[in-house]
Amino acid sequence: TYYGAEQVMPHYNVMGVAKAALEASVRYMAADFGNDGIRVNAISAGPVKTLAASGIGDFRFILRWNELNSPLQANVTLEQIGQSALYLLSPMSAGVTGEVHHVDCGYHTVGMMNPHRTGDTADLLASFKPKYG
C-alpha cells in the first residue's frame, strides 16, 4: 500500500481510494482469519522507482520531497522493503496482525516540512516544472 491511502497525494487520484480499501481489507481479514492462526498485514512503502511509479506525474519531485522531509532524510530502498517483509513473515512478528507497517523513512509521521531543510526545499520548488496544469 502507500501513504496516498491516508493523505491526498498529487496525481495519485483513484489509487488512493484503492489503497485505502486495501488497508481496510487487511484489518477485516486479520479479524476474520485470526481464529485460524492466520496473520494479515500490509507494507506501506515510501515512493520507489518502479514501472508503476513512472505513471505518476512529477514522480521525481515526489521522491526528492520525501527525501528532504522524512525524518531519516532518505528514500526507502527495495532492500529495506524486502527486509520488512521478511520480518512480517518471520516468527519475530508472531503477535502482529491487522497492521499496516510503514517503511517510508518516517515520512508518514511528519506534519510539515523539515525546517532545517528549507533551503533545499526552496531549491526543489524553484526547479519544479509541473507536467500538467
Active site (annotated) includes residue 107: no
Query: Whole-model pTM?
Result: 0.82
How do residues 30-60 score in pLDDT, each as one tens digit? 999 999 999 999 999 999 988 888 887 788 8
Active site (annotated) includes residue 12: yes
Domains and CATH numbers, the chain: 3-127 (3.40.50.720)
pLDDT of residue 121: 77
How far apart are alpha carbons 80 and 45 in whole angstroms?
9
pLDDT of residue 124: 81
How far apart are alpha carbons 74 and 119 in whole angstroms?
17
How do residues 61-110 score in pLDDT, each as one tens digit? 889 999 999 999 999 999 999 999 999 999 999 999 999 999 999 999 99
How far apart are alpha carbons 35 and 68 in whole angstroms?
43
pLDDT of residue 133: 52
How far apart are alpha carbons 20 and 4 in whole angstroms?
8
How far apart are alpha carbons 28 and 109 in whole angstroms?
24
* Average pLDDT of the chain, as a whole number: 89
What average pLDDT does the segment 6-10 reach? Answer: 80
Residue among 12, 28, 87, 107 flagged as catalytic? 12
Q: Is residue 59 within 8 Å of residue 53, measured between CB atoms? A: yes
Residue among 2, 28, 87, 132 flagged as catalytic? 2
Residue 132, pLDDT > 60, answer: no
